[in-house]
A and B are shown apart, each in its own frame.
Chain A
Amino acid sequence: MAAPSAERLAELNRPTRARLMLSLPTAHCAACMSTVENGLQALPGVRSARVNLTLKRVSVDADPEVTADTLIAALDRLGYEAHELDAGLLSATETDRQGRDLLMRLGVAGFSMMNVMLLSVAVWSGAQDATRDLFHWISAAIALPTVVFAGQPFFRSAWAALRARRLGMDVPISLALILASAISLFETFHSGHHAYFDAAVMLAFFLLAGRYLDHRTRAIARSAAEELAALEVPRATRLRDDGAEEIVAISDLAPGDLVRVRPGARMPADGVVTEGTSELDRSLLTGETLPVWAGPGVPVAAGTVNLTGPLTLRVTAAGRDSSLHRMADLVAVAESARTNYTSLADRAARAYAPLVHLLSFAAFGFWMWRTGGDLRTAINISAAVLIITCPCALGLAVPAVVTAASGRLFRRGLLIKSGTALERLAEVDTVLFDKTGTLTLGTPEPTNLSDHPREVLELAAALAEGSSHPLARALAQAAQAAGIRPAALTDLREVPGYGVEARVRGRVLRLGRADWVGADPLPLTATYLCAGDGSPCRAFTFADRLRPGAAEAVATLRDQGLQVRLISGDTTAAVAAFAARLDIDDWTAEALPADKAALVADLTARGRRVLMVGDGLNDTAALAGAHVSISPASALDAARVASDIVLLGQDIAPLGAALRIARQSARRIRENFALAAAYNAVAVPLALVGLATPLAAAAAMSVSSITVSLNALRLRA
C-alpha cells in the first residue's frame, strides 16, 4: 500500500470542525428559525446552523476557533436566550434510535391495519365460503408477521413483568395479541366465520401510538435535562511541592493539599485561606447576596465562588467529607422521605389487569360448562373478552394527555423531567419559593444612583470599571446606561477583597468595603466611595434584580388559592424588604439548608402538598423532599437533578400557567379513564354472552381510542 500523500496527511491533522449545540428555550416560530439560522451563519467561521424546533435546540457546524460564548453573545444580540449544551454527552442519538424503532413498528402496524381492514370489510359485508377463507388467509399472511414484529415492545415488557412476578398492563395486552392471532389462525384453518386479525393489528397500532407519544415526551425532556446537567467540569488546580500547578479531578484532592482558586472559580473543597485576599459569593450555598470578605486564616466552604483576587487554600475536607457532600447526604435523606408516588396509570393498571384476566377465565369456565365442553366456543368467547377489554383506550389515555400538556408547557419554556410531575403538580396547595437566584436573578442592581451628584457618579463609574466584582460591574453598567462618562483617573488599582483605589488631582479615592474606605456600614448590600479629603463618604446601595415575571407568578399563584411562602438563607433585613416588594406575608430568613428541608417535611406532615421552587445547593434537600419541585435553568446541576421540572427561560411567569395546565390535564386523564370504563361497561357484557363479533370489537376499539385522543387534544385549545 502506498504511503499517504503529504496533502492527505495535512488534511488528517487539521483539527476537525467543531459541532456546537445550544439550547434555545425561547424559539417558537418560523421567523425565529430563520432569524437564528441566518444570524449564526453570518458569523465568521460558522458553516451551517440548523434549528430543531421540536427539541428547541440549534446545532452549529463551525470552525474549531468558534466558541459557544461568541454564538451565545450573537444570539443574545438577536434577542434569543441560549445555553451551551455538551455535544459529547448528547444521548440524543440513542434515544432517537428508540424513537425511530417505535415509529417503524407503528408504521408497519398502520400498514397492515389498513390492508387487513380492507379485507375484513369485505368479509363483514357478506363474503362467503371460499372467498371468505381466501380473505382470512391473506389477512393471516399480513397480520401474523406484523403482530410478531410490532408487538415486540409489549412482549418484552410483559415477559419482564412476569419474571418479576407482577401483572403489568403489558401482560393482558400481550395475551390479547397472541390469543387473538392464534384463535383467528385456528378459525381460518377450519373455515370459521370469525377471525380477529384486524383486531390484533389495530390493537398493536393504537397501543404503539400511545407508546410512541409517551416516548417522545420523555425523550425530549430527558435529553434537554441531561445536556443542561453536563455544563460543569469538576476540576481543581493543585499546587505541587515545587510550586508548579497541576490540574486534577476534584475527587483526587486530599486534606492538606494546596489549591489555587482563580477569581470567578468555585471552591473545589472545604479549606482555609493561606494566601491572598478576596471576596466570596456564598449565594448558591446559603442564599446570602452580600459578598463575604476572605483572607488568610478564613475558612471557606466548597461551592462558594471566589470573586476578586486569587486565593490559595489548604484543603481541610475533600470529597465525601466536604460540605458539598454533606449537602448531598441531606438530599438522599429528603428523597427517601418523599412518599412513593404511584401514577394514575399505574393505579389503573393495578386494578385493571387482574380483573381482565379473571373475567376472561370466568367466561371460559362458564361457556365450557354451558356448552358441555365445547372448547372452541369457550376459547373464542374468552379471547373476545380479552380483546374487547384490552386497554387500548387506557394505553392512550395518559400519554395523549401528557403529550398535549407537556407540549404546551414546553412552548412556554417549562421542561417536564419526570413522568408523574404533571399529576403531582396538579395536587399542589402550597408553593415555597427560594429568594436568591429563583425570584431574583442573583445579580445586583444599584438602587440610589439618582441620590448622587453627577461628578460623584463619574468618579464612581471610573473606579468601578477597574474591577470585575459583581457590585462594581453592576455600578459601571448602570452608570453607562444612564449616560455617565467615567472621569479620568490615574494609578487605578484593585485591592482584592477590599475594593478599588485611584488618584484624582492628587487625592486618593477608594471604592469598596465600608471598613476599608472608612465609612459607616449600612445594613444593606452597598459599596462606598470615599475621597481622602475628609468629605462625607457616599454609599451606593444595591438590590437583587427581580426575575422577570416574579411578581406576576406570585400574584397568579395566590389568585389560584395557593399559599405562597418565601424561605431564604439571606439576612432578615434583605428578605423582609424583598417579601414586602412581592407582597408575601409568610417568610423565613437566615434558613440553613436543613431548615428548608425541615420546613418542607413539616408542611408535608401536616398534609400539605408542597411545590418547592429553588436553585441553590442549599435548596436541593428541600427540592428533593417536596411533593414536586421546579428549578430555573440557571440553577446548579445538583438542584436541577433534584427537581422534576426545569424552567428554561429567564421569565418565571409561566409558573402560574403551569399549575393551571397541570390541573386541567389531571382532570382530562380522569375523564379518559371514565370514558374507557364506560366503553368497557357496554362492550364487556356483550362479549361475555358471546355476542361480540369482530366488527363490534373493531368499532368499539377505534371509537374509544379516538374519543380518548380527542379529549386529550381539547387541552391545547
Chain B
Amino acid sequence: MNARLARICVMTGVLAVVLLPIYWLVSTSFKSNREITQEGTLYPHVPTLDNYVRLFTEKPFGSYLTNSLVVTFFSVAIALVVGAMGAYAIARFRLPFAAERKVGLFLLTLRIIPPVVILIPVYLLMLSLGLLDSWLGLIATYTAFNVTFCVWMMESFFREIPVDLEEAAMVDGDSRFGAFRRITLPLAAPGLAATAIFAVLVTFNEFLFALALTATPRAMTMPRGTATLIGRIDTDWASMAAAGVIGALPIVFFALLVQRHLVRGLTMGAVK
C-alpha cells in the first residue's frame, strides 16, 4: 500500500513538472497581450485565436512551415539512400588497407565534432556558391550531417543481418547489389525507420545553421522564423507563445505517432 502511494506521488510529480511548462505555453497562446502582462491570469479568461491568425496573416508562418517540410524531407530522404549504401559497404566489404573501417571511423569522428565548429566556413562556402538564403543551401548542409548519422546507425543494423541470406540470393543468381536491395534492405527496414525518425527530428528542429544561412521568409525554417519574434524590447508574448505551439506541434505529433520506433532508436546505440 505504501509503495503504491509513493508510486502515485512520484508519477504525479513527474507529470506535473513535465506538463506544467507546456500547459503554460499553450494557455498563454490563447490569451491577449493585455491579459498576459497586466492581469497575469493562470488560465485564459477570454480565450482568443487571434495570436494564431496573426502568425499566418501578418507574419509568414505558412512559408516557414513549407520551407521546413521541404528541407527536412529532401535532406533526410537523400541521406537515407546514400547513407544506407555507405553503411552497407562498411558493414560487409573488406577493402584493401581496411579502408572501409577507416572511412567508418572518419565519419564517426565528424559526427562527434559539434556542428558549430564548422559554422563559419559553411557560411563562407554557401556565400561563395550563392546558396545563402535558399532551400538548396540548407538541404546540402543537413544532408551532409544526416549522412554521417545514417551511416553510423545503419552500419550496426546491417551487421546484425546474417550474410547467409545474401549469399543464398546470390547463388540463386542475384547480383551483389540486387541482394542488398531485395534481401538486406527490407530486413533492415525497422532500423531504417528508426534512423529516419531520428534524422527528421534533428533536422526539423535545427536552428544554428538556419540562423546563419537564411535571412528571409524565402528559406527561413520554422525554428528560425519563430526566433524572429524574440529579442525586441517590448516582447509580443502572445505571438511568441502561439509561434511556439505552431513550431512544436508538427514534430510532437510526429514523435507521438512513431513513439515505439523513436524510443528504440534513441536507446539502442547506447545500450549495445
Partners in one complex: no
